[in-house]
Amino acid sequence: MIEAHGLVKRYGSTVAVNDLSFSIRPGMVTGFLGPNGAGKTTTMRMILGLDAPTQGSVTVGGRSYRDLPAPMREVGALLDAKAVQGGRRARDHLLCLARSNGIPRSRVDEVLRIVGLEDVARRRAKGFSLGMAQRLGIASALLGDPAVLILDEPVNGLDPDGIHWVRTLMRTMAADGRTVLVSSHLMSEMALTADHLLVIGKGRLIADTSMDEFVQSSSQHSVHVRSPQAAELATLCRDAGATVRAGNTSPASAAPVAGPDAGTDPDVIEITRMDSAEVGKLAAAHGITLFELIPIRASLEEAFMELTRDSVEYQATGAAR
C-alpha cells in the first residue's frame, strides 16, 4: 500500500509534481502512465525518499520510506538500471545491497538465478547490455523478497522474451498479494500488464481508474461493415441516428481481407454511435446481406493520447507564450 497526500515537488520555478494524491493497493499491478516529463520518476523518487517533497507526504505501508526499519524487505525498487558501478561484479553489486539490509548471501544467488544472470554473475557490470542491466536491477529489487515492488520503465532495453518475463513477474507478484507499481510512457505495454491505471500529465493526476473502466470510457467504438447493399444500410443507420462514413479506411486492427483497393471499396462503410449488435439487427430486419460486421475500438494508445492531450497542449501553449 502506497499512499500520497497532496504531493508537490518544485525545482526552482518548475513544478514537476503538482498536488498528487493517490493510493496504490496490494494484489494488483498499478500502471503509472504519462508522457515523458510528466513527473513519474520524480513521484517514484519521492516515494523512495530520494527527493523530499516540497509539500505533502507519501507513505509506504503507513510509514515514510526513511522510517522503514528494513527498507529492502518492504520495498524493492528499480529506478535506473544503469545506476551501478561498472567496476563491480554483478554478484558483488547484489551482495553489498543484500548486506546493507541483513539479507543472507544465499538470496543473492537465488535472485541471480531468478533473473537468469547466474552465468554472468562474476562479470563486471560495465560490460552489461541494457537488457542485462535491467535484469540486474530487477534482481536487486527482488533481493529482500519485498511486499511492494516499484519499477520505473522496467522493460526498457529488454528483448521480447525479457519483456514477457517481466510481465509474468509483475503478474505473479501481484497475484501473490503484493503491491506492484510500474511506470511506462507506452499505453500498449500497460494494457498487457496493469489492472489499475494512474495517469499523470504535467505533474497532475489525470486519471485514477481500473484498466477495464479506462478501456470502456475512452474507447471510441465504431463498426466496420462490408455488404453488397452498403448504401441501403447506410441510409437506414443514418435514419436511426448513427453516423456513417464511407469505408475509405480499412480497420487497422481487423483488416485481413482488406486488399490494396480497400480504400475505394464502395461496399465498405464505417458506422459510429451504434454498436455492432444494433447494426446487425437493423440489417437482418431489412434483409440486408452482411459479409463483414466488425466492432472496432480505437487503440489504447489513441485513447491515452486523447486523455493526455490537454496536458500536452497546455505545455505547447505555455511554450508559445
Sites of contact with other proteins (CB under 8 A): 45, 48-52, 65-66, 68-73, 75, 77, 79-80, 82-89, 92-93, 95-97, 99-102, 110, 113-116, 140, 142, 145, 165, 168-169, 171-173, 176
- DSSP characters for 1-27? -EEEEEEEEEETTEEEEEEEEEEE-TT
- Smallest distance, Å, CB 197 to other proteins? 23
CA distance 299 to 223: 14
- 273-299 residues labelled b (16+ CB within 10 A) or e (exposed): ebebebbeebbeeeebebebbeebbbb
Q: Which is nearer to other proteins, 138 or 269 (CB)?
A: 138
**CB of 137: closest distance to other proteins in angstroms?**
8
CB-wise, 49 or 157, nearer to other proteins?
Answer: 49
Q: Tell me the backbone φ, ψ of residue 78, rounded to 5 degrees.
A: -130, 110
Minimum distance of other proteins from residue 271's CB (angstroms): 43
Shortest distance, position 141 Cβ to other proteins, whole Å: 9
For other proteins, which is the closer residue by CB, 4 or 97?
97
Q: How far is the CB of 106 from other proteins (least distance, A)?
A: 11
- In the block, cell 448504401 appears at 231
Distance CA 148, CA 141 (A): 10
**Of residues 152 and 270, the one with the C-beta less far from other proteins:** 152
CB atoms within 10 A of CB 18: 18
Name the packing angle between helices 90-100 and 130-142 (round to 10°): 20
Cβ-based neighbour number of residue 204 at 10 Å: 18
Question: Residue 21 Cβ, how far from other proteins at the closest point, in Å?
Answer: 21
- CB of 141 or CB of 307, closer to other proteins: 141
92/232 with CB nearer other proteins: 92
